[in-house]
Amino acid sequence: MSEITGMPVDRVDARLKVTGAATYSAEYYPKNLTYGVLVTSTIPKGRIKNINSSQAERLKGVVGIMTYKNSPTLHFPQSSDPGGGKFGEKDLLPLQNDRIFYDGQIVAVVMADTFEVAEHAASLVKMEYEVDQPVFDLEKNISQSYKPASSLGGGAAQESRGDADANFQNAAAKLNETYTTPVYHHNAMEPHATVAEWTGDKLMVYDATQSVAGSKNLLSSMLGVPAEKVKLISLYIGGGFGSKGFSWPNTVLAAMAAKVVNRPVKLVLRRQQMFTTAGRRSQTIQKISLGADNTGKLNAIKHDTTSESSFVDEFVETAGVATSMLYSSPNVEVSHSLVRLNKGTPCPMRAPGEAPGTYALEVAMDELAIQLKMDPIQLRLVNYADMEEQKKKQFSSKNLKECYQRGADAIGWSERKAEPGTNRDGNYMVGYGMATATYPANRSASSAKATIYADGNAEILCATQDIGTGTYTIMTQAAADAFGLPIEKVTVKLGDSDYPKGANSGGSQVTASVGPAIRAAALGAVNKLTKMAIADVNSPLHGRKEEEIMAGNGRIYLKDNPDKGEDYIRLLSRNNMQKVEALAKTNVSTRQQQESNPAAAGSADAKAEEESKTNAAVQEDEKTDRKPYAFHSFGAQFVKVLVDPQLGTVKVDRAVAVMDIGKVMNLKTAKNQIMGGMVFGIGMALMEETAYDPNNGRVVTRDLAQYLVPVNADIPKFEVQFIDKPDTIISPIGARGIGEIGITGITAAINNAIYNATGKRVRDLPVTPDKLI
Amino acid sequence: MEPFKFTRANDQHSAISSMGGNGVKVIAGGTNLIDLMKLDIEKPSQLVDINNLKLQTIETLPNGGMRIGALVKNSDLAYHPDVITKYLVLSEALLSGASPQLRNMATVGGNLLQRTRCPYFYNEGFPCNKKNPGSGCSAIDGYNRNNAILGTSAQCIATHPSDMCVAMAALGAVIHVQGIKGTRAIPFNEFHLLPGNTPHRENTLRQDELIIAVELPPISYAGRSHYLKVRDRSSYEFALASAAVALNFDNGRIKEARVAFGGIGTKPWRAILAEKVLTGAIASEQTYRTAAEAALSEAKSYKHNAFKIELAKRTLVRALTTVGGMS
């Protein structure tokens, strides 16, 4: 039987989604449901002086109004890692006091019998504020910046080797520029949504989250309820892009509100609220210095980033994180600074760090190539990093040169004119640009449960989640191969906190983390069948050795003589077994630090750990020595643009991505993922930007009419290719995650193509018509 | 959203007789009104649904003009064969606006009454003279990249967002309305109001008046016309600058010209000054540029929208060049 993994299988949940049968978090209607609507601050800093809710209270149908004056007391969150649960504003537990730290901060929740009454009542809650002078402008307050000790998950915020300063001064060719990116918002189609219901001291929550285990764990620790009393369901998520990776106040507020009114509460953020209280990508100011000799060899690389954080938590946009490893150079200095502002806390957004960072670095590389009169690809080849020079490790697998070559061939790089502004086509100037894409290959501990039933079907349970990426589909493929079953016999169930804990959807890690655990669990279940057959005097495999036997097409059989064997159904029914089950947990982690709260995993996880001691697949996986290796994915992005220099409009005419992401689990969903990232990159390059009022720092653009994301008419024909060489070091399945790499490099490639077309270099994103005319 | 009463009118008379009261609003496509109600910007006490009224016809008139019922959907008008042949600029303007789904709902009458997209108008807690008269304008010293450069006042710099209206302004359409006291025919240029000291008053329609139809005058050369819209993304976005243009050529000379701008004015902006330059001049890029300079001579920009002056000029030059090149 040929492998199902890798095939362009249609999404297993496609029919459910297109028919509306997939249930998203806001679509649960427990009996006696009430609707919660938020009241948010209209000042960026100050105190609540007075709350007048009498008019709202009098409305028929209003069942409760929760403010800091009557809300249940919360406890400090006992975790700071998205896997175990990361609350987005740890120093501002919601509705605990009268202080306001940012525009749009939640100041009340109104609960009513209907959504309409709740909405109306919320508009009648009158807040009086004592207004303080806010700090909101990153550039104007840059003198207040400080250097954070570390970034999310304990990553390095400052890195260096050699002496970048001195070598930059002495370099033959120097490039020293500042690149800026504005604030971006994730704008997932599905808003943050929670339905919470208490039954006695037990809490049931439906929540749109990228971390089923983490969100549950935070509810437990913040509400002071034992973990085993909290159950969280998140079966389908309409996109997250990082905005649902942290937990924001809305989730815990739904549970608090349900407690206050003693009825289930549904709380869904309005689009406008998603712009203030559910994270964003920080604005960045990035200074890059590149020093090279006449052959282009980089003697010095400096990348200094200033980004913003809030007064209620700390988040670093690690734009320089890829700079220390992307190119070979003995002298590198990467630094990050933060300025605290009266805004909500920023958070990861698709390729946090790498997306703005590769924009700046890869535009700088283009500028240096032009200065040196070199082909931009050649400059990258001259500085090709054969090893991870900052950590002094080998790459587990790297085929970037092939990406450059195939990308150049596909776009027709030879058509590019080196002299900018010389390729005209009617009203348009034609330009070509390229850039390197990169993202770390993360893997963390995950567990799963596998069951083979006597009717020949099999099932996987894992408390990870599919945020729209195709996780259900690729895990069904991986499980089917391990079970030795056709794909239609396998059901993968995710998004339930009672299942064994899987990875959170962040850092492109689910595929590489959960895949091996699911595989090991399924192989463990098959192994139990094998042992059963060997012990069964009525089995044709009786008395055989395990290593003589293999599985496929719903049978176990002799490798040497496939006719000799039997199917799972016959074996299980003859042994009067309804099913066999196996738990597996793989502890492999490529991350620098372990999770801050592994206890979030729960009891199923402990059993999985115990059972894995005798699981051959887990043992084999964990035996691999990964210490000498660095794990990264790479790729090359190429674009052709048409610029109307008179009107300043840019049309991305073609875009090619060649990605080296290990084994491709499903060609169709993999292409989807990369294309999605490229669409994000087009938005970032050409139109996306959240505007703030220059006088008080409040958000001005708060909906999808004001915050522009690309529409179909902005999207060219994409061509996505994969190297598809399995990374045998990272895991037995050989795949690295691909949720984020698609957005890296593309923004720079577009920017570089615009320069090639027009001779104009725009260093402040987005490149809108006003900057090109 | 505040609670409101909902009634349905089955004929013009019952619609008009129910419209007189304070807080009564008419709903047709609802593509703008419902959004504004959800945001508590519009708070009607009663909505009168007029979709059953017989105002859905597009007629070609004996004089060669056209009469368009107020309830004609934007998409039906855009794809009407006579509109494409005789008033191409109007078809192009309609199709450059919104999205197919919205155009299938939005009506001609509603489009005339479309309200601004100034972000401060939409944002609670910000002063806005359109929303709360006398509260002040947050855009003048605020984030004003998309705001107007023509027709502004010290009280308001909000842009009129419609594309359809720009083409209709250029064509000199006439708006037919009916009220309790009878009917009126309002020339297009007299329908929308400049903000002045009363930016909350956006048009000359009276509380009891219903838009019945829009009449397009016969313009022999309006088939040779064009609508060009420049924006931050390729579709589903309002104009940074747009131009509606129709030219009547006679042996290389421009005999007559119609020019209007969108995206830069506080109302759909008929550019009479540009038309004067063009009329009688030889068709050339120089002429077009001179016309553009004249059209923008009174423009006043703000901190973030100075680029619109040059962009509008270039947009007009390109539109004129395109029409000049049409056979």
Q: Do B40 and A123 touch (CB under 8 A)?
A: yes
**Sign for the pseudo-dihedral over CA of A442, A444, A449, A452:** positive
Q: Name, in order, each residue with C-beta under 8 angstroms of A91's C-beta and a sequence gap of 6 or more.
A: A311, A312, A313
Rg of chain B over CA atoms, in angstroms? 19
d(CA A699, CA A276): 7
* Whether residue B172 sits in one domain with residue B31: no
Measured between beta carbons, the chain A residues lying within 8 angstroms of B120 are: 700
**Sign for the pseudo-dihedral over CA of B280, B281, B282, B288:** negative
Residue-wise pLDDT tens for chain B (327 aa)? 999 999 999 999 999 999 988 899 999 999 999 999 999 999 999 999 999 999 999 999 999 999 999 999 999 999 999 999 999 999 999 999 999 999 999 999 999 999 999 999 999 889 999 999 999 999 999 999 999 999 999 999 999 999 999 999 999 999 999 999 999 999 999 999 999 999 999 999 999 999 999 999 999 999 999 999 999 999 999 999 999 999 999 998 999 999 999 999 999 999 999 999 999 999 999 999 999 999 999 999 999 999 999 999 999 999 999 999 886
* Whether residue B273 sits in one domain with residue B300: yes
Describe the strand order of the beta sheet including A106-112 as a list of residue ranges: A62-66, A106-112, A34-40, A265-268, A193-199, A202-207, A230-233
d(CA B118, CA A705): 11
Chain A contact for B102, CB < 8 A?
Answer: no
Q: Which of A119, A692, A768 sits opposite B232 (nearest CB)?
A: A768
Of B36, B51, B66, the residue that ends a domain is B51
Q: Which of B119, B141, B318 sits opposite A646 (nearest CB)?
A: B318
Nearest CA in chain A to B124: A42
d(CA A23, CA A28): 7
d(CA A483, CA A299): 52
Interface of A with B in 631-650 (CB under 8 A): 646-649
Q: Which tokens go with B136? A: 């002040």
Query: In angstroms, what CA-CA distances link B159 with A71, B114, B269?
Result: 44, 11, 10
* Whether residue B169 sits in one domain with residue B21: no
State how far residue A726 is from chain B, nearest Cα, in angstroms: 39
d(CA A33, CA A133): 41
Nearest CA in chain A to B239: A769
Q: Do B122 and A692 touch (CB under 8 A)?
A: no
CA geometry: angle at B18 spanning B15 and B23, to 5°? 115
Q: How far is Cα of residue B171 from the mean position of the Cα atoms in its chain?
A: 12
Report which of A348, A435, A359 is spatially closest to residue A178, judged by C-alpha positions: A359
* Whether residue B229 sits in one domain with residue B206: no
Q: What is the structure's pLDDT at A605?
A: 78
Rg of chain A over CA atoms, in angstroms? 27
Q: Are A157 and A149 in contact (CB under 8 A)?
A: yes
At A666 the three-state DSSP class reads strand
Examine the residue annotation and report whether A740 is marked as an active-site residue of this protein. Answer: yes
Q: Are B214 and B139 in contact (CB under 8 A)?
A: no
Q: Do A773 and B117 touch (CB under 8 A)?
A: no
Q: Which of B230, B236, B318 sits opposite A769 (nearest CB)?
A: B230
d(CA B215, CA B327): 27
Q: Which tokens go with A464? A: 């990870």
d(CA A88, CA A82): 10
Nearest CA in chain B to A696: B142
Q: Is residue B157 a part of any domain in this protein?
A: no
Measured between beta carbons, the chain A residues lying within 8 angstroms of B311 are: 647-648, 769-770, 773
* Whether residue B63 sits in one domain with residue B199: yes
**What is the residue whose two structure tokens read 């919470």?**
A196
Q: Name, in order, each residue with C-beta under 8 angstroms of B132's C-beta and a sequence gap of 6 or more.
A: none
d(CA A288, CA A292): 13
Q: Are B262 and B230 in contact (CB under 8 A)?
A: no
Q: Are B245 and B320 in contact (CB under 8 A)?
A: yes
* Whether residue B43 sits in one domain with residue B84: no
| Given the residues A190, A314, A566, A740, the one annotated as active site | A740
Q: Is residue B199 a part of any domain in this protein?
A: yes
Q: How far is Cα of residue B43 from the mean position of the Cα atoms in its chain?
A: 23
d(CA B144, CA A706): 12
Q: Which tokens go with B178? A: 């009916």
Q: What is the structure's pLDDT at B225?
A: 98
**Mutation for B interface: A110, A700, A707, most B CBs within 10 A:** A700
Q: What is the structure's pLDDT at A743?
A: 98
Q: What is the mean pLDDT of chain A?
A: 96
Measured between beta carbons, the chain A residues lying within 8 angstroms of B97 are: none
Q: Do A647 and B142 touch (CB under 8 A)?
A: no
- Residue B202's Cβ-side half-sphere holds a number of Cα atoms within 13 Å equal to 20
Chain B contact for A131, CB < 8 A?
Answer: no
State the Cα torsion A364-A365-A370-A373 to the nearest 10°. 150
Q: What is the structure's pLDDT at A153?
A: 79
Q: How far is Cα of residue A111 from the mean position of the Cα atoms in its chain?
A: 32
CA geometry: angle at B103 spanning B99 and B107, to 5°? 150
Measured between beta carbons, the chain B residues lying within 8 angstroms of A56 are: none
DSSP letter at B73 equals B
Domains and CATH numbers, chain A: 24-133+186-274 (3.30.365.10), 142-169+281-441+630-772 (3.30.365.10), 443-623 (3.30.365.10)
Q: Is residue B256 a part of any domain in this protein?
A: yes
Q: Name, in order, each residue with C-beta under 8 angstroms of A210's C-beta and a sequence gap of 6 or more.
A: A82, A237, A240, A242, A244, A245, A465, A467, A504, A505, A506
Q: Is residue B142 a part of any domain in this protein?
A: no
State the Cα torsion A211-A216-A222-A228 to the nearest 10°. -150
Nearest CA in chain A to B37: A120
* Whether residue B16 sits in one domain with residue B63: no
Q: State the pTM of this model.
A: 0.97
Q: Is residue B149 a part of any domain in this protein?
A: no
Q: Are A660 and A724 in contact (CB under 8 A)?
A: no
Q: What is the mean pLDDT of chain B?
A: 97
At A337 the three-state DSSP class reads strand
The CATH number linked to B252 is 3.30.390.50
Q: Which tokens go with A276? A: 């203030």
State how far residue A698 is from chain B, nearest Cα, in angstroms: 9
Q: Which of A119, A699, A702 sits opposite B1 (nearest CB)?
A: A119
Q: What is the structure's pLDDT at A601?
A: 52
Q: Which tokens go with A497? A: 């906190």
Chain A contact for B40, CB < 8 A?
Answer: yes
B200: containing domain = 58-113+162-216
**Mutation for A interface: B45, B233, B311, most A CBs within 10 A:** B233
Report which of A478, A469, A475 is spatially closest to residue A4, judged by C-alpha positions: A478
* Whether residue B94 sits in one domain with residue B10: no
Strands (E), A454-537: 458-462, 490-494
Q: Which of B1, B40, B233 sits opposite A708 (nearest CB)?
A: B233
For chain B, what is the domain count? 3
The packing angle between helices A510-535 and A616-623, to 10°, is: 140
Q: Which of B40, B120, B314 sits opposite A773 (nearest CB)?
A: B314
Q: Do B119 and A119 touch (CB under 8 A)?
A: no
* Whether residue B64 sits in one domain with residue B210: yes
Strands (E), B62-164: 66-69
Q: Which of A116, A693, A769 sits opposite B240 (nearest CB)?
A: A769
State how far residue B204 is from chain A, nearest Cα, in angstroms: 28
Nearest CA in chain A to B316: A647
Q: Are A449 and A499 in contact (CB under 8 A)?
A: yes
Taking only the tens place, the pLDDT of each residue in B71-104 is: 999 999 999 999 999 999 999 999 999 999 999 9
Size of interface A-B (CB pairs under 8 A): 93
Q: Is residue B150 a part of any domain in this protein?
A: no
Q: What is the structure's pLDDT at B20?
A: 84
Taking only the tens place, the pLDDT of each residue in A592-629 is: 544 444 444 566 778 899 999 999 999 999 999 999 99
Q: Is residue B148 a part of any domain in this protein?
A: no
* Whether residue B193 sits in one domain with residue B102: yes
Chain B contact for A700, CB < 8 A?
Answer: yes
Q: Is residue B121 a part of any domain in this protein?
A: no
d(CA A365, CA A362): 5
DSSP letter at A364 equals H
**Mutation for B interface: A58, A62, A129, A647, most B CBs within 10 A:** A647
Q: What is the percent of chain A with per-residue pLDDT over 90, rounded to a whole number?
A: 96
Q: Do B232 and A703 touch (CB under 8 A)?
A: no
Residue type, B274: A
Q: Are A653 and A716 in contact (CB under 8 A)?
A: yes
Buried b (16+ CB within 10 A) or exposed e, A261-291: bebbbbbbbbebbbbbbbbbbbbbbbbbbbb
The CATH number linked to B88 is 3.30.465.10
* Whether residue B107 sits in one domain with residue B254: no
Measured between beta carbons, the chain A residues lying within 8 angstroms of B310 are: 773
Q: Which tokens go with A498? A: 């009672």
Nearest CA in chain B to A715: B234
Of B183, B216, B249, the residue that ends a domain is B216
Measured between beta carbons, the chain A residues lying within 8 angstroms of B314 are: 646-647, 773
* Whether residue B246 sits in one domain with residue B169: no
State how far residue A693 is from chain B, nearest Cα, in angstroms: 6
Q: Do B314 and A649 touch (CB under 8 A)?
A: no
Q: What is the structure's pLDDT at B327?
A: 65
Q: Which of A119, A649, A706 sits opposite B230 (nearest CB)?
A: A649
Q: In chain A, which residues have pLDDT < 50?
A: 593-600
- Characterize the bridge pairing of strands A106-112 and A34-40: antiparallel
Q: How far is Cα of residue B228 from the mean position of the Cα atoms in its chain?
A: 14
Q: Which tokens go with B310? A: 């040059």
State the Cα torsion B12-B13-B15-B19 to the nearest 10°. 130
**What is the residue whose two structure tokens read 């992401």?**
A661
